[in-house]
Structure 1
Amino acid sequence: MKRIVGMGMAVAALALVTGCQDGATTPKPAGTPTTTVGAPGGVQPTGAEQAPVVTKPAGDGTPATAGGGKCVDLKSPVVTAALGKLGANVGGEGFSAQSGTEAKVGSCPALMWVLADTPHGTASSPWHVMLFNQAGYLGTATKKSTSYTSVVGSSDRSVQVQYRWLAASDPSCCPSGGPVVVTLMLGADGHTVTPDRDFPTEVTNPK
């Protein structure tokens, strides 16, 4: 079972809590992982084993990730610093920001995303889904990078991530496993991120 780790809070602890969305308790199946964003001592940040990037939004409420009129500028200092914390991918290079939340400043969602890919990669190369709130970087959807991963939808407080995987006889171009869509929900505290189901073990622990 994998955890989503986010921005440090002085009094938060890595623990199982009830996920909330828009201030209401979100029902979830037994065993569904819920992760409170990071805290000193006991944090296991996703991606690289380092503390997340934490900044502050501009005084006018513009997200820390904003630039060029967009809520998420893929070349913003906050996104660039977060990418640097993912470490090297299988090719030895760092990850690069491929796409992200498209909303414009003035209508920015509470939970934003960036899809990071492998430069010069192939169809099976690893990806990371990076999550941000308006103050900065929360962490990645899964601790380890995953192949055949895409963001298929989002709302103000949620991001839908689709996972696929190779079956035994599949060529690397054409995974037949899945698809499975996991919805990541931002809690009422603005920091806790909760998946609505377990991540497929075929992508988190591939054989």
Structure 2
Amino acid sequence: MNIKSWAFAALAASVVLGATGCGSSPASQATRTPIPSAVPTASGNALAPAQSGNADQPTNPPQAQPNTPEVGSPPASVPVDQKEPAPAPPPAADQGPNGSGHGLCFDRNSELAHSAVARLAPNAGGYPWIIEDASNDPISAGCSGVLSWMLVDWDGTHPGVHILYFTDGKYLGTATSKYYSYTTVLGKTRNTVSVQYRWAKPEDALCCPSGGPTNVTFTLNGTTVTANGQFPPNPDK
């Protein structure tokens, strides 16, 4: 056998032995390392997307569930905008003193008004006194120190007039001790009332008095009313 024939035979024998060895021993099993669904990126601050087609990844990965509080647990606090506290409500408006009503410091329909009328002496004709008019100072302007008035007369043929004064829910009395005819309230300020008087002379008809006119100003000082002006003659003379 020459050299070339020997080398060829040796090579063929090694191939046969290698094939026989591969078929006779069990194949080694490769160990598979699971591939994570995401791996850190180079920066290390975010996750890379999971590789598709990986058989070890679950088909339906678990989804994140909302954080539901347990029954009976206190609700989570919710931040709210910080706002200035609402201003305190204004104090209740002045309700007015005794005898006030309908937005007025003195109400002619009040119990105070009617009780004052009941205290008047009877008139000459024995008629009941009738409330005809009254002041109208508003409560919104304040009632302390306000002089209120009320005018009463009767339905006789020759009526007489009384003017009653009030302040701070109290009845002060009449402008004059005797009633007069032809009496008119001209106006008022917070603590004064101006009254005009006329009177009939002996020759005058009742419709047309020629006496006067004269004006008297009544001023409130505390709980006292003072008068300044000329009054008519005494009606009893």
TM-score category (smaller protein): 0.5 to 0.7
Aligned residue type for 1:176:
S
Residue 227 of structure 2 aligns with an amino acid whose one-letter code is P
Q: Are 2:156 and 1:121 aligned?
A: yes
Provide the aligned C-alpha RMSD in A: 1.9
Alignment of 1:181-196 (within 5 A): 181-187=215-221, 190-196=222-228
Partner Cα distance (2:140, 2:176) in 1 = 29
CA contact (8 A) 1:183 1:196 kept: yes
AA at the equivalent of 2:127: E
Aligned to 2:210: 176
Q: CA deviation at 1:65?
A: 2.0
Per-residue CA deviations over 1:97-119 (Å, capped at 9, x if unaligned) read 1100022222246101000111x
Partner Cα distance (2:105, 2:156) in 1: 27
Match of 1:129, SS? strand
Mapped to 2, the partners of 1:178 and 1:139 lie a distance apart of: 25
* Gapped regions of structure 1 (runs ≥ 5): 1-58
From 103, 126, 129, give the equivalent of 1:69: 103
What is the rounded CA distance, in whole Å, between the counterparts of 2:170 and 2:200 in structure 1? 34
Instruction: Indicate how the Cα distance of structure 1 residues 61 and 185 shifts in structure 2: closer, same or farther if over 3 A, else same.
Output: farther
Q: How many Å apart are 1:126 and its aligned residue?
A: 0.6
Distance between the aligned counterparts of 1:196 and 1:162, measured in 2? 12
SS at structure 1 position matched to 2:204: coil
Structure 1 residue 71, shift from structure 2 partner: 2.1
Query: Where in structure 2 are the equivalents of 1:1-207 lying within 5 Å?
Result: 60=94, 62-107=96-141, 108=143, 110-118=146-154, 120-122=155-157, 124-187=158-221, 190-200=222-232, 202=233, 204-207=234-237
**Letter in structure 1 aligned against 2:153:** D
Q: CA deviation at 1:67?
A: 1.3
| Range 100-109 or range 160-169, more displaced | 100-109
CA drift at 1:199: 2.3
More strand by proportion, 1 or 2? 1
The share of aligned pairs that are identical, in percent, is 40
Runs of 4+ in 1 over 3 A off after TM superposition: none
The aligned amino acid for 2:189 is S
* Matches of 1:110 and 1:61, distance apart in 2: 15
Contact 1:87–1:95 under 8 Å retained in 2: no
> Is the deviation greater in 60-69 or in 108-117?
60-69
Query: 3-state SS of the aligned residue for 2:196?
Result: strand
SS state at 1:163 partner = strand
Alignment partners' CA distance in 2, 1:178 and 1:61: 41
| Number of aligned residue pairs | 143
Q: Which amino acid aligns with 2:206?
A: S
Q: Using a 3 Å threshold, how does the CA distance of structure 1 residues 67 and 105 change in structure 2: closer, same or farther?
A: same
Higher helix residue share: 2
> Residue type matched to 2:149 in 1?
W
Higher CA-based Rg: 2
- In structure 2, the gaps of 5 or more residues are 1-92
